[in-house]
Structure 1
Amino acid sequence: MIGSLEVFVVLIATLLIFGPDKIPEFAHSLGKAVGDFKKAQRATELGLNDLDLYHDVDRKDVDRKIMEMAISSGIDVRGKSSDELLDLLADVVKAK
């Protein structure tokens, strides 16, 4: 966990490195990246929840949905089973 002293030191270092003119631009970019990250996390969570709704659907459809979610999450799907992909997706969701 980062304490207030560490945050203060990072802010001072950022100010010295980039200058006061670049900090708002940097903060905006960081905020946008965090927002995009949270959107992707919610989409992945919703995708995993959608799988529960399809318990009566053919296994091929479920496997396809898992593969689509993994690809959209940036996971390399080559040579991985659906169970492996689900584990990787769960790790992605937990990490976010």
Structure 2
Amino acid sequence: MKTTFLFIGGPEIFVILLIVVMVFGADKIPEIARGLGKGIRQVKDATNDIKKEINDSAKNHGIDTDISKSIQKEIEDVKGGIDDFTGPIKRNL
């Protein structure tokens, strides 16, 4: 089984890395990687801050922010109902 990353296989990744080394040079790659890492970290921190602000604002206004638990409970109830209904059918097969 062939492993892919973003619909790109191993040979394609190798060619892309080769082009990056040729364009930027081997000495610039760690610097570029650090910059990308810092950028990704800043985006992640900003996303977490936005989520926290939304949750805090919702709690201050009395809005239930834990709606996923109630949705999960409803899903489990439906699954249980389906299992009860299909149980005899599965046993007959």
- Identify which of structures 1 and 2 has the higher relative contact order when contacts are C-alpha pairs closer than 8 Å and 6+ apart: 1
Q: Structure 1 residues 35, 17: CA separation in 2 closer, same or farther (over 3 Å shift)?
A: same
What is aligned with 1:13? 19
| Secondary structure at the counterpart of residue 11 of structure 1 | helix
What is aligned with 1:41? 47
| Secondary structure at the counterpart of residue 61 of structure 2 | coil
Q: Computing the radius of gyration over CA atoms, which structure comes out larger, 1 or 2? A: 2
1:37-73 C-alpha deviation (Å, 9 max, x unpaired): 10001001111111111116xxxxxxxxxxxxxxxxx
RMSD (Å), alpha carbons: 1.6
The AA in structure 2 aligned to 1:31 is G
Name which of 32, 35, 54 aligns with 1:26. 32
| Secondary structure at the counterpart of residue 26 of structure 2 | coil
Q: Percent identity?
A: 36
Aligned residues: 56
Q: Structure 1 residues 2, 34: CA separation in 2 closer, same or farther (over 3 Å shift)?
A: farther
Structure 2 residue 58 is the aligned partner of structure 1 residue 52: yes
* Structure 1 length-normalised TM: 0.51
The AA in structure 2 aligned to 1:9 is V
